[in-house]
């Protein structure tokens, strides 16, 4: 509901998860004006393919700001399947992509190309540019809600840092701030 009038204060309510997403994309994209693409469903494939027991968490926990294994367990629990993103960025310039983009890291896939202005000045044989895009997990929060953890992928970005990583945030001084990160791979 939009409230208008001179006597009304305008407020925009966001969930803590949405606030973490806003912080992540503002830091990742670097400004409010650059266009980026984001899958409109949450990522879950990595969690399904990599059990907690299989992954070497000791080094990752340290890089993520010495977060707890309980927070990692919560991240796995919250990402047992894909969910609608249920978020329209307020600050950054996003184009949402359908769920079919989840887990498609094939650089030759038609999903990686678009006509017109893509993100990378590399063209295929018929003049299409690469469309780099993000997918993100649901956010896990510590028991006291002061630490947040998410996983993201940046795909179809040849020569521009396609990657998959975990990022942690801490809530201090009334805002979410980057705590640490752990990269799974980079191209």
> Each residue of 121-130: pLDDT tens digit?
555 555 566 6
Task: Show the CA angle centred on residue 27, arms to residues 24 and 16, nearest 5°.
Answer: 30
Inside any domain, residue 9: no
Going by pLDDT thresholds of 50, 70 and 90, the confidence category of residue 104 is low
Going by pLDDT thresholds of 50, 70 and 90, the confidence category of residue 116 is low
Alpha carbon distance, N-terminus to C-terminus of the chain: 44
Q: What is the pLDDT of residue 172?
A: 95
Inside any domain, residue 3: no
Is the pLDDT assigned to residue 61 strictly greater than 60?
yes
Inside any domain, residue 125: yes
Inside any domain, residue 114: yes
Going by pLDDT thresholds of 50, 70 and 90, the confidence category of residue 60 is very high
Is the pLDDT assigned to residue 28 strictly greater than 70?
yes
Which is higher by pLDDT, 4 or 40?
40
Inside any domain, residue 140: yes
Question: Helix (H, G, I), strand (E, B), or coil: what is residue 130?
Answer: strand
Tell me the C-alpha distance between 30 and 173, whole Å. Answer: 21
Going by pLDDT thresholds of 50, 70 and 90, the confidence category of residue 158 is low
Q: What is the pLDDT of residue 1?
A: 37
Inside any domain, residue 93: yes
Of 68-77, 78-87, 90-99, where does the model show the most confidence? 68-77
Which is higher by pLDDT, 121 or 44?
44
Inside any domain, residue 8: no
Contacts 24+ apart (CB under 8 A), 163-172: 163/187, 164/46, 166/60, 166/64, 167/24, 167/64, 168/64, 168/65, 168/67, 168/71, 169/20, 169/23, 169/24, 170/65, 170/146, 171/145, 171/146, 171/147, 172/146
Give the chain's domain count. Answer: 1
Q: What is the pLDDT of residue 122?
A: 56
Calculate the average pLDDT of the chain.
84
Which is higher by pLDDT, 131 or 46?
46
Q: What is the pLDDT of residue 62?
A: 96
> Each residue of 136-156: pLDDT tens digit?
999 999 999 999 999 999 887
Inside any domain, residue 108: yes
What range does the domain containing 116 cover?
16-186
Q: What is the DSSP code string of 85-126?
A: -----SSSEEEEE-GGGTT---TTSGGGEESS--SEEEE-TT
């Amino acid at each position: 509901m939009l409230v208008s009038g001179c006597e009304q204060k305008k407020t925009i309510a966001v969930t803590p998860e949405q606030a973490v997403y806003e912080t992540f994309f503002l830091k990742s994209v670097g400004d409010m004006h650059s266009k980026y693409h984001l899958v409109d469903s949450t990522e879950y494939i990595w969690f399904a393919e990599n059990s907690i027991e299989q992954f070497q968490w000791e080094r990752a926990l340290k890089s993520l700001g010495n977060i707890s294994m309980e927070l990692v367990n919560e991240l796995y629990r919250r990402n047992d399947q894909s969910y609608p993103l249920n978020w329209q960025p307020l600050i950054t310039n996003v184009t949402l992509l359908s769920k079919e983009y989840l887990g498609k890291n094939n650089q030759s896939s038609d999903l990686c190309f678009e006509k017109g202005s893509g993100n990378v000045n590399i063209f295929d044989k018929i003049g299409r540019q690469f469309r780099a895009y993000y997918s993100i997990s649901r956010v896990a929060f510590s028991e006291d809600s002061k630490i947040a953890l998410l996983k993201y992928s940046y795909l179809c970005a040849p020569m521009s840092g396609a990657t998959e990583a975990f990022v942690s945030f801490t809530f201090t001084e009334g805002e979410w701030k980057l705590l640490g990160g752990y990269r799974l791979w980079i191209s």
